[in-house]
Structure 1
Amino acid sequence: MGSNADATSTGPLVGADPEPIRAAIEDENPLSGTRGFAGRVDGSLVRDVLGRYPLFLDGDGQDRWAFDPTELADPTPLPAGQVVDPAGNRREVWSLPDPSPRDGTAAVRAVGNAIDDALADVDTDGLAIAFSGGVDSALLAARLEAPLYVAGFPNSHDVRAARETARLLDREVRVVELDHDALVEAVPPVATATGRTNAMAVEIALPLYLVAKRAAADGFDRLAVGQGADELFGGYAKVARAPEDPRVAAETVRGARREVLESLPDQLTRDVLAIRAGGVEPVAPLLADGVVEAGLALPGSLLVTDRGERKYALRLAARKWLPDPVAFREKKALQYGSLVARELDRVARQAGFKRRMDDHVTQYVESLLE
């Protein structure tokens, strides 16, 4: 999401210029210095190793493709890391590297340097920042001169955290205050744009869409997001609890982190499509290749400490720009911190979709599309 030039979703290729992608194909180099890419290069369709841009084929065919699934009759995502040549032959060209872990001090320094480079490379013209008050978005706010936006119901965790973090950074934050009417109105465009009616997918996408929509209304055309930091730096409870957590198969924290990273293409597809539906183009500096490379080299003890503190290396590196109360702030998942999940459940029940029904919120979402 976003290249050195912060490309838009128009044209045959997004995210990078053709030349580095040609070299990456030839060398089979998965981390060639971009922030992701997708599209057509020399007649071949490509999508980077983390799927940072969505690209869809029409069914199993190769002739029709699009960045927007609503343009196709049977949109099927091109898997991350694959190349489809002009003859229609598919092959996986890129897979995530698995480097040996670095020494602790050097590993943290490498993360900090990579983040510094990635943020220095962001063009702030026409840029807004999706800001929830956690360490990921606070890093963007500390380094990028762009307005901050948070979406949430009144007195939600994210709104309170965003205001407190903005105060500590001597910044102001624009609050997109949600209510039930705004939520219900946003469900159909979000479900249509993402092609998903699953309750959790819609709940995560809704705040992103509503922040994007407000930023677009205020005249911005790009939205910086902290996407990918939780997956890369060990932000999930199931990673911290590996191997005891049944949601991961891995025997180590590093292995569980890799499992989570492999789910990122599907999540990023949802997020990118929701943000674009709001009228802006996402920019994800914390998923720049250099940051990914540094994150992959972290030992498990710097992903999650013995005390269970998650994203430890990222927090240590962030102290260069953030005060400790921000760098070490715990954050709720977007759908919970904004109260979108709770309130969408409430709206669904008010509409007659009771909890005793199977997946009642998903059924409610589907009813709004009929």
Structure 2
Amino acid sequence: MAADEPELRGAPAGAVARAVERGEALSGTAGFAGRLPDGRLVRDALGRQPVFVETAESSTERGDRAWGFSPDDLAGPEPLPAGHVLAPDDPDGDVGTDAERVLSLPDPAPTTNDREAVAALRDALRGSLDAVESAGTAVAFSGGVDSAIVASALDAPLYVVGFPDSHDVAAAREAARLMGRAADLRAVELEPADLERAVPEVAAATGRTNAMDVQIALPLYLAAERAAADGFDRLAVGQGADELFGGYAKVARAPEDPRVEAETVRGAARELLGTLPDQLERDVLALRRAGVEPVAPLLDDRVVRAAIRLPGDLLVDERGERKKALRLAAREFVPDGVAFREKKAVQYGSLVARELDRLARQAGFKRRMDDHVSRYVESLIEG
């Protein structure tokens, strides 16, 4: 880690130390990671801030394990698991074995009164949004309910990324119009060359070359890159909403969908929360490589606490509408035409996935080849 880096990111050391000692996974922060004053490394229960540990050798004067907030800081980086602490001794040990889980997300019984559940979520959103400062902040805006809630609280430009004929660009323009924010919208309309240029950067930042991770991270990176070029050092994002509020089709189809093991919608949503640390690591690293610090109001402890108490019918209703509670709560912040709009996943809504596939085929990586887009990504890095 660089000498001028903070020891902890996301929250003050005192607040983090208290959370760890009390085992409070939702102690009132928006996530944290780093080194405590006693030398222990820590990462919050949802993995909202990534931190990495050198597994091969020590690099500090104290004889502790080498560590950093980016895998670039280390020769052999391994992420500290979410909710774990790692003692500074035994520098040659295995991180997965030596780290101790001290923070686990609560699993409360669902709220039985739907009206009260939505009201609690609305209050949590209001508190989280009020805590975000507009100065120096831009918004990643796709026109869906998640990013629109975030945008509603900020006097800031809204950046949408996509190819000119993409769903996301059209949806963002319509949502911005409905919200009275058309003048704030800045469309980053892509060309194939933008992907070819950005793929190696995203892969280097995240340490990932698989097609899905790269396709998801590319729009975030390109939006952040433009925002940074325009002078902003923070980018507010809607990350976490799909996992918290039942936004995935496989959650809505539980238990029939083979992609989840849970027997209920609520159980499937809880299962998907376990994927957040890995996803957030990718997104945070891509955004930082582009030159901005991410701000994720929907992952504030207040919002998480309200979300994990939602009953299954407020995640997915009887008609199959997903993120029901979030949409109902969103009516305080955005027009109904935005709150209840369905949206495609960013890699498809932006057409990044389609265009990356097309570039791969043009480069000779045909669909009959196993994982042809990932092979194309690797070729760009080698090039």
Q: TM-score range by the shorter chain?
A: over 0.9
> Which of 7, 14, 35 lines up with 2:9 in the alignment?
14
Please list every run of 5 or more consecutive structure 2 residues that lacks an aligned counterpart in the other structure: 58-63, 91-97
| 1:73 equivalent in alignment to 2:75 | yes
Q: What aligned pairs does 1:118-129 form with structure 2 within 5 A after superposition?
A: 118-129=128-139
| 1:357 equivalent in alignment to 2:357 | no
> Which of 86, 89, 97 lines up with 1:87 in the alignment?
89
Checking the alignment, whether the CA contact within 8 Å between 2:65 and 2:88 is kept in structure 1 is no
Checking the alignment, whether the CA contact within 8 Å between 2:65 and 2:89 is kept in structure 1 is no
Instruction: Kindly state the Cα deviation for residue 86 of structure 1 after the two structures are TM-superposed.
Output: 2.9
**Aligned position for 1:37:** 32
Q: What aligned pairs does 1:48-197 form with structure 2 within 5 A after superposition?
A: 48-59=44-55, 63-88=65-90, 89-102=98-111, 103-172=113-182, 173-197=185-209
**Aligned position for 2:351:** 339
> Which of 281, 285, 305 lines up with 1:269 in the alignment?
281
SS at match of 2:215: helix
Give the TM-score normalised by structure 2.
0.93
Checking the alignment, whether the CA contact within 8 Å between 1:134 and 1:331 is kept in structure 2 is yes
Checking the alignment, whether the CA contact within 8 Å between 2:240 and 2:299 is kept in structure 1 is yes
Q: What aligned pairs does 1:204-219 form with structure 2 within 5 A after superposition?
A: 204-219=216-231
2 CA distance for matches of 1:367 and 1:90? Answer: 36
Moved over 3 A (4+): none
2 CA distance for matches of 1:41 and 1:60? Answer: 22
SS at match of 2:65: coil
Instruction: Kindly state the Cα deviation for residue 10 of structure 1 after the two structures are TM-superposed.
Output: 3.5
> Which of 248, 254, 266 lines up with 1:254 in the alignment?
266
Instruction: Kindly state the Cα deviation for residue 37 of structure 1 after the two structures are TM-superposed.
Output: 0.2
2 CA distance for matches of 1:127 and 1:68? Answer: 22
SS at match of 2:202: helix
Aligned length in residues = 362
2 CA distance for matches of 1:243 and 1:295? Answer: 20
Task: Specify the code of the residue in structure 2 equivalent to 1:124.
Answer: S
Q: Which one is further off, 288-297 or 82-91?
A: 82-91
> Which of 302, 310, 315 lines up with 1:298 in the alignment?
310
2 CA distance for matches of 1:285 and 1:369? Answer: 33
Q: Which one is further off, 137-146 or 203-212?
A: 137-146
| 1:46 equivalent in alignment to 2:42 | yes
SS at match of 2:46: coil
Instruction: Kindly state the Cα deviation for residue 60 of structure 1 after the two structures are TM-superposed.
Output: 6.0
2 CA distance for matches of 1:26 and 1:141? Answer: 36
**Aligned position for 1:234:** 246
Task: Specify the code of the residue in structure 2 equivalent to 1:76.
Answer: E
Checking the alignment, whether the CA contact within 8 Å between 2:314 and 2:323 is kept in structure 1 is yes
2 CA distance for matches of 1:47 and 1:142? Answer: 30
Give the TM-score normalised by structure 1.
0.96
1 CA distance for matches of 2:336 and 2:43? Answer: 38
Checking the alignment, whether the CA contact within 8 Å between 1:224 and 1:285 is kept in structure 2 is yes
Instruction: Kindly state the Cα deviation for residue 337 of structure 1 after the two structures are TM-superposed.
Output: 0.3
SS at match of 2:25: coil
Task: Specify the code of the residue in structure 2 equivalent to 1:171.
Answer: R
Q: Which one is further off, 79-88 or 289-298?
A: 79-88
Instruction: Kindly state the Cα deviation for residue 59 of structure 1 after the two structures are TM-superposed.
Output: 2.1
1 CA distance for matches of 2:254 and 2:366? Answer: 34
- Percent of aligned pairs sharing the same letter: 66
**Aligned position for 1:6:** none
1 CA distance for matches of 2:326 and 2:212? Answer: 27
Instruction: Kindly state the Cα deviation for residue 126 of structure 1 after the two structures are TM-superposed.
Output: 0.3
Spell out, residue by residue over 1:32-58, the C-alpha distance to the aligned partner (whole angstroms, 9 max, x if none).
000000000121100000000111111
Instruction: Kindly state the Cα deviation for residue 144 of structure 1 after the two structures are TM-superposed.
Output: 1.0
SS at match of 1:206: helix
Checking the alignment, whether the CA contact within 8 Å between 1:132 and 1:150 is kept in structure 2 is yes
Spell out, residue by residue over 1:266-321, the C-alpha distance to the aligned partner (whole angstroms, 9 max, x if none).
00000000111111000000000010000000000000001100000000000011
Task: Specify the code of the residue in structure 2 equivalent to 1:32.
Answer: S
2 CA distance for matches of 1:104 and 1:265? Answer: 29
Checking the alignment, whether the CA contact within 8 Å between 1:60 and 1:76 is kept in structure 2 is no
Task: Specify the code of the residue in structure 2 equivalent to 1:59.
Answer: T
SS at match of 1:163: helix
SS at match of 1:53: coil
1 CA distance for matches of 2:369 and 2:72? Answer: 30
1 CA distance for matches of 2:169 and 2:88? Answer: 49
1 CA distance for matches of 2:134 and 2:317? Answer: 35
